[in-house]
Amino acid sequence: MEPHTDRFAAAAAEERWAMVRSIVAGGALGDPGWRAAFEEVPRHLFVPYYYVAGGYDRLWCEDPDPVRRAQWLRGAYEDGALATRIKDGELISSSSQPSLMARMLEELDVRDGHRVLEIGAGSGYNAALLAHRLGDDAVTTVDLDPEITESARRHLDAAGYHPAVITGDGTRGWPRRSPYDRIIATCTLPCVPQSWLEQCVPGALILAPFATGLIMLRVREAAHGKYAEGRFLHTAAYFVPLRGSPVPPARRPHPRALPRRFGDNDLFRFLLALTEGSLDPREALSLWEREKRPERERFGITVRGGRQWAWLDDPEGPYVWPLPTV
């Protein structure tokens, strides 16, 4: 089955609709606008190749073996993340799990007329979904790597979408197209760049991976300037780290210092990642047990007055941990 035949197009559409049905069955895409975007934006155009088997095997749309081409197409529409760029053995770009993308886009709560800044262009697929919903002119996507932005532009053009694709430092946002009503990051943050707040309208939302969760911040105006505050969503999230300058180095917790039953617990690893540098693993374990193994939604982040901190239950309460700043 050749990649440019009517038969191939029909097979791709069938795979796409099956992916959407699976996402809907999992409880996402209740919004008709986002469902239409996932039904109509062809993900396979954004992943002409990707890596499997831990990066040792590449599936490719032009593979001369029809069996491997069919495997590539099926994988493009499976509900999983796809490794799209590996450098020196390290994953630097991927296409995120579609069901997670759907939940994040729905949580972003966009409205007609909203302007969105995406940090991390990746394959361009997420920008295409945003452009389908809001229009090309409303969407700006930024990535540090010129190879990533160039391939994202090609993919978007092939799919018929033309948002602004910028090669630049995502930690600085992109002030030329501000102000923004929404900022969404597709890479894990070590902290929240202050520049993002300055480029937002009051009331804007910022949704970003942080630690192993998703933080939703509301930007507000006060006498001392803009600040942001919000809680984590229930959803776990694992993304490649934000790259840029200056970015504090990613800190990796070491749960091996604890019994396996704690170190392998997803919620406890979230607490370790969130409090790394403030609590050692056993202090984190003591807090976790004392607070009856709190869910992600009990934690939040505040960015105010040149400072930012994580907290449990109350931003001014007894459990707060300083975060680095950019």
Give the pTM.
Answer: 0.93
Residue 203 contacts residue 220 (beta carbons within 8 Å): yes
CATH architecture of the domain with residue range 6-236: 3-Layer(aba) Sandwich (3.40)
**pLDDT grade, residue 324 (50/70/90)?**
confident
The arithmetic mean of pLDDT across residues 162-173, rounded, is 97
Q: Average pLDDT for residues 188-210, to the nearest whole number? A: 96
Is the pLDDT assigned to residue 247 strictly greater than 90? no
Examine the pLDDT at 1 and tell me if it is beyond 90.
Answer: no
pLDDT of residue 248: 58
**Which residue stretches of the chain are H helix?**
6-25, 32-40, 66-76, 98-107, 125-134, 146-159, 194-198, 260-263, 266-275, 281-290
Contacts of 12 (CB under 8 A, 6+ apart): 42, 44, 73, 77
Q: Which of 146, 207, 141 is nearest to 174 (CA)?
A: 141
Work out the average pLDDT over 189-210.
Answer: 96
pLDDT in tens, 10-53: 999 999 999 999 999 999 999 999 999 999 999 999 999 999 97
Tally of CB atoms within 10 A around 245: 9
Higher pLDDT, 244 or 233: 233
Give CA–CA dist 205/218, Å, rounded. 5
| Domain ranges (residues) in the chain | 6-236, 255-322
The pLDDT tens digits for 139-160 are 999 999 999 999 999 999 999 9
Which residues have a catalytic role annotated? 96
Of the spans 191-195, 244-248, 276-280, which averages the highest pLDDT? 191-195
Query: 3-state DSSP call for residue 106?
Result: helix
